[in-house]
Amino acid sequence: MRITSLILCLPLMLASCSHLPEIRPAENVAADRDAQCRAIFPTGRWQLVHSIEMLPPAGSKQTVMGVVQLSSEKRTFHCVLMTIEGLVLFEADFNGAVTIERALPPLDMPGMADGIARDISLIFLAPEEPCAEAGFLKDGGWVCRHPSADGGDEDIVVQPDGRWEIGCYDKNRRLTRSVAPLAKEDVHAGGWPSRVMLKAYGLGGYELRMSLIEADYLGK
């Protein structure tokens, strides 16, 4: 029954996939536009603690705690996922490649660590590649488009009112991930959004709703 429903819904799901939006080139654009896009990411070394609601494609939501210690300059981070009760489920280093220090089932599944690292990079690290294209979207938002290593693109969209969104597109220009604050006004004392949502699209898609608990600046 579930498989039948899935097959029936497939055309709708594919039709609903978002594609890489068209950019309208802008003239006389202020030089700080690219900086504005990059300003949504932490600068320097930070330790961030979040509660993370994980909404899988099927089954109940699970809440865990996440700790990320990152360096924007080195583009590295150390991450820990643990239960509310403190049991560490996953711990890894990212330094261009992922080094797993601990992974308990089901987070020890193949590809899981790379997926976690990719999501954390998308949320917290500015794109590695420089902006290749910039301009306005139909809705008036300013977009900085960065090519990705996998042949796709990463869009950072900043609206005139300050709202922002990150869109990650594959080489077929289909939206695979999006990241956005849940409420513009809800800002932590450290300057970061208190609540951020990551959505992964397609079959096996999921949501992560992250609520910032602590943000500690560790220096440059």
Partner 1 sequence: MATMRINLRKIQWLALIAALSCIGWADSWDQLKTTAGAITSVQADFVQEKHMPILTKPLVSKGVFYYQAPRAVRWEYQWPVQSIVAMYNGNVRRFVAAGGQGFTEESGGGLQAMQVVMEEITHWLAGRFDDNPMFQVRLEPGRCIVLVPKEEAFQKVIQRIVLNLGQQPGVIRSVVIYESENAFTQLTFSHTVLNARIEDDLFKKIP
Residues that bind partner 1 (CB under 8 A): 47, 49, 51, 53, 59-63, 65, 67, 69, 78, 80, 82-88, 104-106, 182, 195, 209, 211, 213, 216, 218
Nearer of residues 105 and 111 to partner 1, judged by Cβ: 105
What's the N-to-C CA distance of the chain in angstroms?
55
Smallest distance, Å, CB 121 to partner 1? 18
Secondary structure of the chain in HEC code, one letter for each residue? CHHHHHHHHHHHHHHHCCECCCCECCCCCCCCHHHHHHCCCCCCEEEEEEEEEEECCCCCCEEEEEEEEEECCCCEEEEEEECCCCCEEEEEEECCCEEEEEECCCCCCCCHHHHHHHHHHHHHCCCCCCCCEEEECCCCCEEEEEECCCCCEEEEEECCCCCEEEEEECCCCEEEEEEEECCCCCECCCCCECEEEEEECCCCCEEEEEEEEEEEEEEC
Smallest distance, Å, CB 110 to partner 1? 13
Nearer of residues 129 and 186 to partner 1, judged by Cβ: 186
Nearer of residues 156 and 210 to partner 1, judged by Cβ: 210
Nearer of residues 65 and 179 to partner 1, judged by Cβ: 65
Smallest distance, Å, CB 184 to partner 1? 15
CA 3 to chain centre: 30
Smallest distance, Å, CB 158 to partner 1? 24
Nearer of residues 157 and 198 to partner 1, judged by Cβ: 198
Smallest distance, Å, CB 204 to partner 1? 17
Nearer of residues 78 and 174 to partner 1, judged by Cβ: 78
Smallest distance, Å, CB 130 to partner 1? 31
